[in-house]
Amino acid sequence: MKKLIKNVNIITPEGELRGCIGVDGKFIDYVGAAEPAGYDEVIDGKNGIATAGFVNAHAHLPMVLFRGYAEDMALQPWLFEKIFPAEDKLTPELVKWASRVAIAEMISGGTTSFSDMYYFCDEIIEAALESGIKANIARGVSAFAETDTSKLAAFRETEELFAKYNGAGDGRIKIDACLHSEYTNNEAVCRAMADYALEKGAVLHVHVSETETEHNECIGRHGLTPTAFLEKCGCYRSPVLAAHCVWVTDEDIAIMAANGASAAHNPSSNLKLGSGVAPVAKMLAAGVNVCLGSDGCSSNNNTDMFTELHFASLIAKGFARDPQALPSRQALALANVNGAKAQGRADTGVIEAGKRADIVIVGTDAPHMHPVYSAAVAVVQSARAADVRLTMVDGEVLYKDGEYKTLDVERAIFEMEKLVDKTYR
């Protein structure tokens, strides 16, 4: 099935171009100013802005249930009095509906792929498959003192997920290897997961140096920063997706850059929890692949890449006291092509013939989208999730003009609210 998107202002790797995007099956086959013939379906972009879809490179989807659940609390009571007890009540059914609500939020807000780290992964994956969105799924591994991986359910589940789901949905689903973090694991398990990631050729998703406390406690424990410790365990032989990286040192950054690692920057979460501000400019300058994430809804509170993108831009300028820091075009790359790289998806993240058709059209009708002098600036500095008119993944339209094409979102919200009433209110 060939589709032509016409009347769009396209953000390309080179710049901006008004014209058409041709899609053949799952792939882009034309990007240009002309309106070529031979397409079965024509989608009128109505003068909107076409951008490569956003990648939410660090999420915990089921935590949408805890959106606004535990607010304005210090870290320890937040975790031990509210979040952990709430997580203890999770069931596959809660996760099933919550995942669909979270995916609906993402799809309607221009996110075409996400990297998740949690449990009840089957439910999350089934929701992703049903919706058509792309997902890298990691089973969070927190072994604590247990060094025997044969005794770890999370390890076993990871292996099962690889066997059952890796490559599912024509490659839309990828399974990542995972360590929750250094401080929730031990050296033996870290080494075992590092070997497993290498064997599977998988991305290794791990929380790194989110808080100053955990960073320093790791040094106290091992005489090494979390990054250096994970490197010692062999993790960096694989593509690492390091979430947060708020307190990474220059040496940590050098390790990441030398090993082609990615850093998922989660500006809203880091600020909301008082963790600090990640050294994004330093990491980019060193060649680290910096991408963007929302983290979980209990510390955001949304799953909205437009907000993360805008906020990352403002924080970079404000933190450096430099209005020239992280120009909008460079910021935009964090939200799509860098996220795609972090997921090991070299075939997407840009609007270019030969790439996967993961495309978002941002409407320009609303007052706040006038005037537009540059499409990239408008996307980063003015556009919002609600401006998204169309979200396409692998050439399939998942969302268009307020309608979800693949998910019964009303039902998901209804079912989730029923269970939330019973479980959490």
Q: 94 vs 192, which CB is nearer to a copy of itself?
A: 94
Q: Which helix (H) or strand (E) holds 367?
A: none
Q: What long-range pairs does 306-310 form, CB within 8 A, spacing at least 24?
A: 306/54, 306/109, 306/110, 306/379, 306/383, 306/384, 306/385, 306/387, 307/268, 307/384, 307/385, 308/56, 308/265, 308/266, 308/267, 308/268, 308/335, 309/54, 309/334, 309/335, 309/379, 309/380, 310/380, 310/381
Nearer to a copy of itself, 178 or 378 (CB): 378
Q: Which is nearer to a copy of itself, 154 or 362 (CB)?
A: 362
Those residues whose C-beta lies under 8 Å from the C-beta of residue 344, and which sit 6 or more positions away, are: 136, 174, 202, 203, 239
The three-state secondary structure class of 101 is helix
Q: Judged by CB under 8 A, which of 307, 338, 348, 406 binds a copy of itself?
A: 307
Q: Which is nearer to a copy of itself, 189 or 273 (CB)?
A: 273
What is the CB neighbour count within 10 angstroms for residue 403?
10
Near a copy of itself by CB under 8 A: residue from 42, 129, 257, 420: 420
Stretch that binds a copy of itself, among 13-21, 50-58, 167-175, 299-307 (CB under 8 A): 299-307
Instruction: Fill in the per-residue mask, 64 to 103: x = in contact with a copy of itself (CB under 8 A), - = not in contact.
Output: xx-xxx-xxxxx--x----------------------xx-
User: Nearest distance from residue 128's CB to a copy of itself, in Å?
Assistant: 15
When the beta carbons of 202 and 325 are compared against a copy of itself, the nearer one is 325
Handedness of CA 55, 109, 409, 393 (dihedral sign): negative
| Options 12, 111, 266, 301; binder of a copy of itself; rule CB under 8 A | 301
Cα–Cα distance for residue pair 104/374, rounded to 1 Å: 29
Q: Which two tokens stand for residue 130?
A: 């049903």
Q: Say how many CA atoms lie within 13 Å of 72 toward its Cβ.
A: 0
Beta strand 41-52 pairing with 359-362: antiparallel
Q: Identify which of residues 188 and 420 has a Cβ nearer to a copy of itself in the complex.
A: 420
Four-point Cα dihedral 17, 18, 24, 28, nearest 10: 20
**Residue 205 · residue 115 · CB < 8 Å:** yes
User: What string marks each residue from 312 to 341 as x (binds a copy of itself by CB under 8 A) or -?
Assistant: -xxx-xx-xxxxxx-xx-------------
Contact segment (CB under 8 A) with a copy of itself among 12-20, 60-68, 195-203, 280-288 equals 60-68
Per-residue binder mask for a copy of itself (CB under 8 A), 352-391, x = binder: --------------xxx-xxxxx--xx--xx-xxxx----
CB nearer to a copy of itself: pick between 42 and 372: 372
Pairing of strands 16-24, 27-32: antiparallel
Q: Please tell me whether residue 271 binds a copy of itself under the rule CB under 8 A.
A: yes
Closer of 120 and 311 to a copy of itself (Cβ)? 311
Size of residue set near a copy of itself by CB under 8 A: 70
- Which CB, 241 or 416, lies closer to a copy of itself? 416
Out of 302, 336, 343, 406, point to the residue binding a copy of itself (CB under 8 A).
302
Least distance from a copy of itself to the Cβ atom of residue 33, Å = 18
Nearer to a copy of itself, 4 or 325 (CB): 325
Residue 300 to residue 87: CA distance in whole angstroms: 17
Nearest distance, CB of residue 277 and a copy of itself, angstroms: 7
- Closest to 374 (Cα-Cα) out of 341, 328, 309: 328
Would you count residue 281 as binding a copy of itself (CB under 8 A)? no
Give the nearer residue to a copy of itself in terms of CB position, either 111 or 225: 111
DSSP letters, 206-228, are EEES-SHHHHHHHHHHHSS-HHH
Q: In whole angstroms, give the CA distance from residue 274 to residue 251.
A: 24
Interacting residue with a copy of itself among 63, 95, 104, 178 (CB under 8 A): 104
For the chain, the helix, strand and coil percentages under 3-state DSSP, each to the nearest 5: 45, 25, 30
Interacting residues toward a copy of itself by CB under 8 A? 64-65, 67-69, 71-75, 78, 101-102, 104-105, 108-109, 268, 270-277, 300-304, 307, 310-311, 313-315, 317-318, 320-325, 327-328, 366-368, 370-374, 377-378, 381-382, 384-387, 409, 413, 416-417, 420, 424-425
